[in-house]
Structure 1
Amino acid sequence: MLGLRAPQGRALSSRPPGASASLTRRIGTPVATRFTFAGGNLSKLARLPLYVLARPAQWLTPRSRREWVFGSGAGLAQGAWELWQEVAAREPDARLTWLVANEAQAEQAVDAGVEFVAKDSWAGFWRTLRAGTVVVTHGLGDVNRYGSGGAFLVQLWHGIPLKRIHLDSPATFALGGRLPAAAGRILRGMYRLSTRAISLFPVPSQLVGSRIASAFGLDPARIAVTGDPRDEALVAGTPASRRADSLRVLLGAGVLSGEERERRLVLFAPTWRDGVEDPTVPTEAERDALEALAQRLDALILFRPHPLGLGAYRRAIAGAPRLRMVSSEAVPDVNAVLSAVDALVTDYSSVALDYSLAGGHIVWFAPDRASYEKSRGLYEDYEATTGGHEETWAGVIAQLEARLTSGPEAAASLAATEALRDRFFEVRTPGAPGRVYEQVLARRDGGVAAAPAGLPSGSPAEVPADAATGTGPTVFFESFYGRRANDNPAGIDAALAALRPDVRRVWSVANDTVTVPEGAVAVLEGSPAWARERAAASTLVVNDWLRTPVADPRRQKVLQTWHGTPLKRLALGRPKVGLRTRLAILRQTRRWDALLSQSPFCSAALAGDYAYRGPVWETGYPRNDAMVLGTRADARAALGLPESGRVVLYAPTWRDDGRVVLDGAGLAALAASLGEGTTLLVRAHSRVTEGFEGAPGVLDVSGHEDLGELLRAADALVTDYSSMMFDAAAISLPLAFFVPDLELYRDEQRGLSFDFEAEAPGPVVREASALPAAIAGLWERPEAFAGAYAAWRERYTPWDDGGAGARVVERLEAEGFLPPAA
C-alpha cells in the first residue's frame, strides 16, 4: 500500500521514523505552480483516456457503506475534516481514509492521527473504488478521480460564491491556445458529467443553494440547507471560547507571540485571479502607511494571500514588524483564525461571508473591479453585496481607522456585517457536520431525506403555497434571467393584478436583492420552491431565452415577450452563425407557444431572426403602459430630480466584444458641455456589468428597474442601437443617435434590420465632440425631424397607447393560457 497508515483515534505529535523520505518518494514535495483554468483544462482533456479505462473497474467493484474516503485541496480543512470527525464519532467501526496530494497534507494527516494514502497511488485508486461515500471540497481531483464513479458523492464547497463559478463562469472553460471547437465541447461535457455525480451538496441558505444549482447544473433536490461544516469553528461555543481557539492556532503557527494576544488583529485575505498577479501588493510607501496604522491602533495586520494567488507579499511587507504573513501552509483553514480577527479586508473572496458569522468589520478593497467582473462575473452587483468599496490602500487605511475606533462609522460597519450574515446564512447554529451526516444516511441508504434540522424560525425550507396574493392559477415570470423584475413581464404582471386578482404571480429571481411587484412572490432560481412553483404554473412569461424547458409542455404555456423591437439583427440574422448555434436557436423557439410583438415590423423581424412559426400577438409592449399614462413630474419625483431644468438620458446597448464607446471621462465631458441646469442620466445595458458611477456631473441610473420612468423623466434620449429608440417614440421623446462604430457594428458584428441612417428620426452623430450641438438642436429646431419622427412612430409603436397589458391579458384568456376567472 502506498502511503502510511496511522492508528485512528490517536494523535501523533511527529512522523514515524523515516517517514519523511518515504512520503517524499511516494507523494512528492509540493511545488509552487501557477495554476490557471486553461492549464487545468488541458490536463483534464489529456486524462480523458484514463477515465474511459477506469470505467469497467467502477462497474465491477462492489462498494462498501462502511468505507469512506475524504479529500480536500486545502488539506485537513474546508468542512471535510469536520465531517470526518463526525463520522468517526458516529461510526467507530467504519474505515475512514484521507487521500493526500503532497507531503504537507501527509504531515497534517500524521499529526491528526488519521489513516491516509496518496490520492494518485494504486492504493488511492483502490480505496476510492471501494468507498461507499466520497467527500470532497473542490472537486473529484481531491480524491482519486478515476475511482469515484458510482460512489455517493458529498460535494462540500470551499466558500459561498460571490464570483461566478463552474458552469456559470466563462473562465471555467478557458483552453488558452487555438484548439478545435470539439475540444471545448468535450470539456463542457466532462464538466457536466462530473456535476451529475454529485449526490448531496450542503449549503447554509436557499440563496446559496440557488447559486450552486445554477453553477453545477444541479437538481435542487440534491441540495440541502444544513449549514456548512466548514463554518463550525465560527458558530460552536461562545465568542470568548472561539476567540481563544483562534488565538491558539495563530500562536501555534508562530504568527503571534504570547504577549501579543491582546492586540487588535486585521486580516487581509484576497482571492486569486486565474494566473494574473494580485493588484493589491503594497508599495513601499503603502507598507509604511500600514505599519503606521498598526502602531496607532496597537494592531497587527496579517496578510493571507490565496493559495493559488500570485504576488510578492512577503517581500513587500519585509521590514514592517507589525505586518505578518499567515500562509496557507501555516494555517490551512482560514476559518480557524477568523474569530480572533477584529477587521477583515478582502476583495471578492468568500472569506468575507464566513467572517460575517464572526461579526467584525469588513472593508472591501477592489482596485480591479471592472476587469475582474468582465473576466469572471459576479452573481450580483458588487455594490449590492458590499455597500461600497475602496480602490487604494489609502482608502482602506482610512476605513480601518474609522471603524476600529468608536463612533458612528463603527456601528454602521458592524450593522452591515450583520446584514450580510442574515442574507447568506439561514442556519447559524452549531451541528452542521451532524446534519450533513444524517442527510447522507437518509439519501445514500435509499430513504427519503428529512428536512434538515436547524432552520431558524421564519426561514422555511420552501416558500409557502399561499405566499402570493391570489388563489387561482399561477403565472410564473422571469425577466433578464432573474436579474431584474421589470420590462414586459412587469407590465403583464401589473395588468394581471388589476384585471385578474385571483391569479398567483410568482417571479424567478437570481438573488434576494431583486424586488418583485407588490402582491407577487419571489422564488430563488434553483431552490426547491422555484422548482415547485415553476412546475405548478399554467403559464410562463419570459423576456429572454428560456434556459430550462417547462416541466409539462402539454399543460404549460410559454409566452415570449422579448425585450424590445430589434434594430440589430438577432439569432439567425447575425453574421457567421455556426451550425451548433443554429440548432440551439431552433430548439429555443420550439419552447415558445406565443411571441409578443410591438408592431408589424417587430413581428416580422423577431419571427424571421428566430425562424419562429407560431402565433404572434401584436398588442404593443406592456412595459410602456405606465410610461404612456404617467407624467413627467411623477417620473422626476421618483428619481429625485427637480421639475425644472432639462434631463438628457444616455442609454447605449451592449456590444459582443465588451466595448464601451463613451467611457467615464467622455461622459463627464458631455455633461459639462450640456451646461448648467441640464442633468445627464446614464443607463448601462442589463448585460453590461459595470455602470458609470463616479463620472462628474453624471447620474448613473443603471440599476433603475423602470425604463419607462427614465424615458418619461427625460427631455431627450441619446442612444445607439438600443430598442429604447422605439419605446421613446410612444411619448414623442426627441432622439439623437451616437454611433461612432456604425460600420463595424452593422457590417461585421451584428448587422441592422433596416437602413438606419435613412430612417433615423434624429441626428446621427459619429464624433463625441458633435454630440452637444446635436442635442441642443433637438430643442432649438424640432421641425427638422418632424416628418421622419411621425413616420417612425406610426411604423414602430402603433399600439403603445397604455392598454397593451390589458390586451395581453385578454389574449391569455382567449388562447387558453389562463383559465377564465371563477
Structure 2
Amino acid sequence: MGTNGFDFARGNLSKLTRLPLYALGKPAQWLIPRTPKQWVFGSGAGVAQGAWELWQEVARREPMARMVWLVANDAQEDQAREAGIDWVYAQSWRGFWRTLRAKTLVVTHGLGDVNRYASGGGYVVQLWHGIPLKRIHLDSPATLNLGRRVPAVVTALLRRLYRAGSRRISLFPVPSALVASRIHSAFDLPPERILISGDPRDEALVSGSKRERAALACRVLEGAGVVGAEDSGRRVVLFAPTWRDGDQDPAVPGPQERDALQGLAEELDLIIVVRPHPLGVGSYRSALAGADRLRMADSEAVADVNQILSGVELLITDYSSVAMDYSLTGSHLVWFAPDREEYERTRGLYEDYATTTGEHEKDWAGVVERVREALSVPDGATARASLLATRSLRDRFFDVTEPGAPGRVYDAILADRTPGQHRDEESVYQPQAGADVREAEPVASDVASSEPMTPGPVVFFESFYGLRANDNPAGIDAALARLRPEVRRIWSVASEAVQVPSGAEQVVEGTPAWEAARRDAGLFVLNDWLRTPVPRPGEQKVLQTWHGTPLKNLALGRPKVGLRTRLAILKQSRRWDALLSQNPYSSHRLATDYAFRGPVWELGYPRNDRLSPADPAAARAAARVDLGLSAHARVVLYAPTWRDDGRIVLDGAGIARVQRALSAADSIGAAGSGGEGTEGDDVVILVRAHSRVAEGLGDAGAGTAVRDVSGENGLERLLLAADVLVTDYSSVMFDAAVTSIPMVFHVPDLELYRDSQRGFGLDFETRAPGPLTRTEEELVQAIRAASTGDAEFEWRYAAWRADFTPWDDGAAGERVVRRLEAEGFLR
C-alpha cells in the first residue's frame, strides 16, 4: 500500500459512514442565507491548482469580497500563512459556518476541499486538477471501489452520492472541447455548465515571456531547497508519476536503476527531480538516498507543480495529467508505463495509451536511453521528433492557450450570479459540434445528382460493450454498406482507439455525440447486453445478435441464479425486438435462457460470412500474409473461453512448453525420415484470449513461436490462417466448423466447469468433433494427430456441421438485411 494509507475503498467507506452529517447540515442550508460577497476556496493540493490564481483574480476585481481559504492540514495552513491570506480548517465549525454563508465555493478536487456538509445551495466552481487521460469519477470502475463484496444496494447508494455531488457543480472550466466531452461524461454534467475558457492553473505556463516563466520556475525550486547555487547552469529533468489508488508504484527505482539515473545526470550535467503524486509518495525518499543528483520535490515542498514546469528541460511521466499541462511548454516528454496493462484494466483510460503517447518505455533502462537521445544532441532528428510530439499533444488538448483564464472564469461566475447577464456563448460547451464523431467516408455513386440526398435510416452498432467493432454487428454493417449505402452506420466505442468499419462513424461512449446518435438511431444492433434503455421506446428497434452458439448455460440456465439477477435478465430481454440465431439449437437455447418471447431470426451468423470465401486457398494465403506467418509454418490457434472464477488452465509458460514439445517432435520426425529437421519457429501458436481475460497468455520466452493475437479484431482471419484449433468451451467451436479446421479441446477442468460452474446444454463429451485432452502431453499428441487428419472424429465433425452451421454459407449478412427491410426495422 502507499505510505499515506489512502485509497478509493477507504475514502468511499468514510463517505458512507458520514451520511448522517449530510442530513444534519440540511436544515442549516435551508435557513441560513448565503452572501454574494463571501467566497470560500479549497484544494486538495494546498494553495494551488488554479484556485489560487482565481483567488488573486477575485481579490483584484472585487476588493470588498470576503474570502477565506479552507485548509485540511498543517502543511496547507503553513502555505496559507506564507501567502498572507485568511484561512480556517475546512472540517471545523468555523469552516462549516464560512462555507454555509458563502455564495461561491471554489474547489479543485471535490466538495471535501471546503466543508461538504454546508455546500448545498452554493455556487460551486469545480476547477479540477488536471486533464484526464485515465478515466475519472463516474467513468472509472475504481471510483466506486469499496474493497470488498458488498450488496448491490450499497454500491448504488455510493453512486447516488457521487451523482449528488456532481449535481452541485455550477461551473466547470476546461481548455478544449475534447476535455469538455470527458468531463461531461465523467460528472454527468449538463453542457451549459462546462466552460471552454482555459485552465486557471495553467496561468504560470502561458503568462509572460519564456524567460520570465523559466525564472519563476527557478525561484520556486530554489525556495523549496530542491536546487542551490551550485546547480547553476544544470538542466532539470522532472519525473512525475501518478497515483495508483494506494498501491505501491512499480516505477520506484531499485539500487541499480538509481545508480543508472545518477550516472545519466552526471553524464549530461542534469538534476533529476522526482515529484510523486501527493497520495502516493511511497518509497521514493529512501530509493533516492545517496544519489546527490536525484532530488525530491513533493507537494509539501512545491505545492503547485505548474510553477516549475517552465524550468524543466524534459518530463518523465506515466498517466499523469501533468503531461498535458507540460505540453504548453513545448519541451521534451518521455512516457514511462511499466504497468500499462494492469493500470488500463483496473483504472481505464479514455483512449488507447498509444493514441496519447505514441511510444512509451516499460523500464528505467529504456527511459535513460530516451533521455540521453533527446538531450545529448539538441538539434538532432530524435530531439526534433520529441519536441514535435509534445506540440502535437498540446494541439489536441488545448483550444485555448492564451493567458487570462482566471479572468474568463470570473466573468462567467459574475454573469451566472447577476440577473440579466449571460456568459459569452462561444465559450459554452456545445456537444452538438460532434468532436467525438468520425466523419463518414463519402459513398460512391454511379449516378451524379445535383439533388440533395434524403437522409437515410440510422443504425447504431455496439460490439462487446464498445471494446471492439467486430462480430455479428460488423457482419451486418458490411452487408448494409453493400446493399443499403444510404444507411448511416454509427458505432459506439469505449475509446477513440477502437477502429470502426470503413464508411461508418465512431462515437465514444458517454459523450454528447454518443447520446445524440442513440436518439437519432432507428435501429440498435448489438451482440451483448443493452446496458441502458433505448431513448425512444416503441419507436426504436433492437436486434440482439448475441456472440456465439452457447455450449455453456447462460442467464436463467445457469445454476443458482438469484432473484435480483433473474429480474435483470427478464428486464434485459424485454428490450429486444428480435433475436438472431445461428442454428436451431441456438434458437431454442437463447430464447429459453433469456425468457425471450419475441421473434427469433434463424438466419446464420454474419460474422462467419468471411469463412466461406470463393477461393479458400487464396483466402488462407492472404490471411497468413496479413498475420506475418510463413506459408510453410504449422499454425495452432489457441482460443479458450473465460472462467467465472478467473482461472487460466494453460498460461503463457504452459503454451511455450507445448510449442517446444511440438517443435521437438517435428524435428525428430523430419530427421528420422532423412530430412534436415525444422526450425522451432515452424510451429507457431497464436493465442487469442477472451475479451474478459485481462492477462495476455502469449509470449513466455518462446519468441515469435508464441504470439498473443488477443488484439485481433475478430477470429475470422485467425481461423482462415490456422491448421489446428485448440479451444475448450468457447463458442468458437461452432464457427470453426464452417472452415472444417481440425479441433482439439483442452479441458483439464471439465467436471468442475460442467457440474459446478456453468453446465452444458448438450452432451459435449460424446458429441465434440475432436479429442478432449487433460494434460499438456495429451494436448501435444492430439495436436500432432489432428494436424494430419483424424478419421476417428470425421463422422462427429460431419454431424456437427450439419447441426450447427446449416445457414453459415457466406450469405447470412444479406439475409439479415433483407429481414430488417421486410420487418420495417430500417426506417
TM-score (norm 1): 0.88
**Residue equivalent to 2:633:** 645
Please say if 1:688 is aligned against 2:689.
no
Q: 1:219 to 1:625 in 2, by over 3 A?
A: farther
Tell which deviates more after alignment, 209-218 or 778-787.
Answer: 209-218
Q: 1:771 to 1:485 in 2, by over 3 A?
A: same
Q: How big is the shift at 1:330?
A: 0.9
**Residue equivalent to 1:702:** 710
Please say if 1:545 is aligned against 2:529.
yes
Q: How big is the shift at 1:125?
A: 1.7
Give a deviation string over 1:727-748, Cα, whole Å, max 9, x none: 2112222222222333333333
Equivalent in 795, 817, 826 of residue 809 of structure 1: 817
Tell which deviates more after alignment, 494-503 or 189-198.
Answer: 189-198
Please say if 1:282 is aligned against 2:270.
no
Equivalent in 459, 471, 474 of residue 490 of structure 1: 474
Q: How big is the shift at 1:442?
A: 5.8
Q: How big is the shift at 1:91?
A: 4.2
**Cα distance in 1 between the residues matched to 2:416 and 2:119:** 18
Q: 1:433 to 1:659 in 2, by over 3 A?
A: farther
Q: 1:550 to 1:82 in 2, by over 3 A?
A: farther
**Cα distance in 2 between the residues matched to 1:299 and 1:525:** 44
Equivalent in 339, 345, 355 of residue 316 of structure 2: 345
Equivalent in 56, 63, 76 of residue 34 of structure 2: 63
Within 5 A, what are the aligned runs for 1:628-667?
628-629=612-613, 631-667=619-655
Please say if 1:315 is aligned against 2:303.
no
**Cα distance in 2 between the residues matched to 1:747 and 1:437:** 65
Q: 1:387 to 1:115 in 2, by over 3 A?
A: same
**Residue equivalent to 2:336:** 365
Amino acid at match of 2:538: R
What value does the CA root-mean-square deviation take over the aligned residues? Answer: 3.1
Confirm or deny: 8 A CA contact 1:269 1:345 kept in the other structure.
yes
Confirm or deny: 8 A CA contact 1:225 1:461 kept in the other structure.
no
Q: 1:674 to 1:32 in 2, by over 3 A?
A: closer
SS at match of 1:475: strand
SS at match of 2:739: coil
Give a deviation string over 1:5-31, Cα, whole Å, max 9, x none: xxxxxxxxxxxxxxxxxxxxxxxxxx9
Equivalent in 754, 759, 764 of residue 762 of structure 2: 754
Equivalent in 730, 743, 750 of residue 722 of structure 1: 730
Give a deviation string over 1:686-723, Cα, whole Å, max 9, x none: 23334356542222222221321222222222222222
**Cα distance in 1 between the residues matched to 2:424 and 2:544:** 38
**Residue equivalent to 2:86:** 115
**Residue equivalent to 1:563:** 547
Q: 1:789 to 1:481 in 2, by over 3 A?
A: same
**Cα distance in 1 between the residues matched to 2:195 and 2:154:** 34
Q: 1:643 to 1:254 in 2, by over 3 A?
A: same
SS at match of 1:291: helix
**Cα distance in 2 between the residues matched to 1:468 and 1:477:** 19
Equivalent in 410, 435, 439 of residue 383 of structure 2: 410
**Cα distance in 2 between the residues matched to 1:651 and 1:452:** 52
Confirm or deny: 8 A CA contact 1:429 1:454 kept in the other structure.
no
Amino acid at match of 2:788: E
Please say if 1:481 is aligned against 2:469.
no
Q: How big is the shift at 1:498?
A: 1.0
Tell which deviates more after alignment, 64-73 or 779-788.
Answer: 64-73
Give a deviation string over 1:86-133, Cα, whole Å, max 9, x none: 444454444433221122222322333433322112232223223333
Please say if 1:104 is aligned against 2:75.
yes
Tell which deviates more after alignment, 719-728 or 441-450.
Answer: 441-450
Amino acid at match of 1:678: V
Confirm or deny: 8 A CA contact 2:182 2:511 kept in the other structure.
no
**Residue equivalent to 1:24:** none
Which structure 1 segments of 5+ residues have no match? 1-30
Confirm or deny: 8 A CA contact 1:649 1:711 kept in the other structure.
yes
Give a deviation string over 1:631-669, Cα, whole Å, max 9, x none: 112222332333332322222223333333333322333
**Residue equivalent to 1:611:** 595
**Residue equivalent to 1:25:** none
Q: How big is the shift at 1:326?
A: 0.5
**Cα distance in 2 between the residues matched to 1:790 and 1:501:** 38
**Residue equivalent to 1:44:** 15
Q: How big is the shift at 1:439?
A: 4.9
Within 5 A, what are the aligned runs for 1:114-133?
114-133=85-104
Give a deviation string over 1:295-349, Cα, whole Å, max 9, x none: 0011011111121215232222222111111011011122222222222223333
Q: 1:800 to 1:59 in 2, by over 3 A?
A: farther
Q: 1:177 to 1:785 in 2, by over 3 A?
A: closer
**Cα distance in 1 between the residues matched to 2:156 and 2:436:** 36
SS at match of 1:544: coil
Give a deviation string over 1:477-499, Cα, whole Å, max 9, x none: 22222222222221111111111
Q: 1:286 to 1:130 in 2, by over 3 A?
A: same
Tell which deviates more after alignment, 268-277 or 804-813.
Answer: 268-277
**Cα distance in 2 between the residues matched to 1:443 and 1:506:** 37
Amino acid at match of 1:264: R
Amino acid at match of 1:539: L
Amino acid at match of 2:518: R
SS at match of 2:310: helix
**Cα distance in 2 between the residues matched to 1:578 and 1:242:** 62
Confirm or deny: 8 A CA contact 2:466 2:493 kept in the other structure.
yes
Confirm or deny: 8 A CA contact 1:206 1:524 kept in the other structure.
no
Confirm or deny: 8 A CA contact 1:468 1:504 kept in the other structure.
no
Q: How big is the shift at 1:443?
A: 5.8
SS at match of 2:316: strand
**Cα distance in 1 between the residues matched to 2:578 and 2:216:** 61
**Cα distance in 1 between the residues matched to 2:800 and 2:113:** 61
**Residue equivalent to 2:143:** 172
Within 5 A, what are the aligned runs for 1:28-427?
33-176=4-147, 182-219=153-190, 222-406=193-377, 407-427=380-400
Tell which deviates more after alignment, 550-559 or 384-393.
Answer: 384-393
**Residue equivalent to 1:10:** none
**Cα distance in 1 between the residues matched to 2:791 and 2:285:** 68
Tell which deviates more after alignment, 739-748 or 245-254.
Answer: 739-748
**Residue equivalent to 2:676:** none
**Cα distance in 2 between the residues matched to 1:582 and 1:510:** 27
**Residue equivalent to 1:668:** 656
**Cα distance in 1 between the residues matched to 2:791 and 2:181:** 53
SS at match of 1:777: helix
Within 5 A, what are the aligned runs for 1:508-523?
508-523=492-507
Task: Give the share of equivalent positions with the same residue, in percent.
Answer: 64
Q: How big is the shift at 1:54?
A: 1.6
**Cα distance in 2 between the residues matched to 1:423 and 1:685:** 33
Figure out how many residues of one structure are paired with residues of the other and give that number.
788
Tell which deviates more after alignment, 37-46 or 162-171.
Answer: 162-171
Confirm or deny: 8 A CA contact 2:3 2:280 kept in the other structure.
no
Q: 1:448 to 1:665 in 2, by over 3 A?
A: farther
Q: 1:390 to 1:674 in 2, by over 3 A?
A: farther
SS at match of 1:562: coil
**Cα distance in 1 between the residues matched to 2:714 and 2:438:** 29
Confirm or deny: 8 A CA contact 1:427 1:455 kept in the other structure.
no
SS at match of 1:108: helix
Tell which deviates more after alignment, 163-172 or 434-443.
Answer: 434-443
**Cα distance in 2 between the residues matched to 1:444 and 1:662:** 63
Q: How big is the shift at 1:145?
A: 0.8
